[in-house]
């Protein structure tokens, strides 16, 4: 299994541009998450999904949108990029929310908005 994969690895955007961060998992996991990590900080939850067709907001959803049309894919859309969205973005997944299910993380996308 490849686990959780993310593309692109790096991206520079200009203010006002849009882009989609891709996330795919091949473990047949039901639950998927998008986090952002600012320098020296922990992870903040942006959006999450409990299955295909179902998404919900996390702690910091403003400026982002998601969709979940398949179990495998969970893309994150940035509309009208702003400098405050400069961060490293991680996608993660778990099989279910049973007791203590481990989150598997992707390698991250480093985004800079200038």
Partner 1 sequence: EDQVTQSPEALRLQEGESSSLNCSYTVSGLRGLFWYRQDPGKGPEFLFTLYSAGEEKEKERLKATLTKKESFLHITAPKPEDSATYLCAVQGVGTNAGKSTFGDGTTLTVKP
- How many residues of this chain interact with partner 1, rule: CB under 8 A? 30
The only residue of 21, 25, 33, 87 in contact with partner 1, by rule CB under 8 A:
33
**Dihedral (CA of 70, 84, 89, 8) sign:** positive
Name the phi and psi angles at 44, rounded to 5.
Answer: -110, 130
99 binds partner 1 (CB under 8 A): yes
48 binds partner 1 (CB under 8 A): yes
What is the four-CA torsion angle of 102, 20, 73, 61, rounded to 10 degrees? Answer: 50
Residues that bind partner 1 (CB under 8 A): 4, 31, 33, 35, 40-45, 48, 50, 56, 58, 90, 92, 94, 96-97, 99-108, 110
């Amino acid at each position: 299994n490849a686990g959780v994969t993310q593309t692109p690895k790096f991206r520079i955007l200009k203010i006002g541009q849009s882009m989609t961060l891709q996330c795919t998992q091949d473990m047949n996991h039901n639950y998927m998450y998008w986090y952002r990590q600012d320098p020296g900080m922990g992870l903040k939850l942006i959006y999450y999904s409990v299955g295909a067709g179902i998404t919900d907001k996390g702690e910091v959803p403003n400026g982002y949108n998601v969709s979940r049309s398949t179990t495998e894919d969970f893309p994150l859309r940035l509309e009208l990029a702003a400098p405050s969205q400069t961060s490293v973005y991680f996608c993660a997944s778990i099989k279910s929310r049973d007791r203590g299910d481990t989150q598997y993380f992707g390698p991250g996308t480093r985004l800079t908005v200038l």
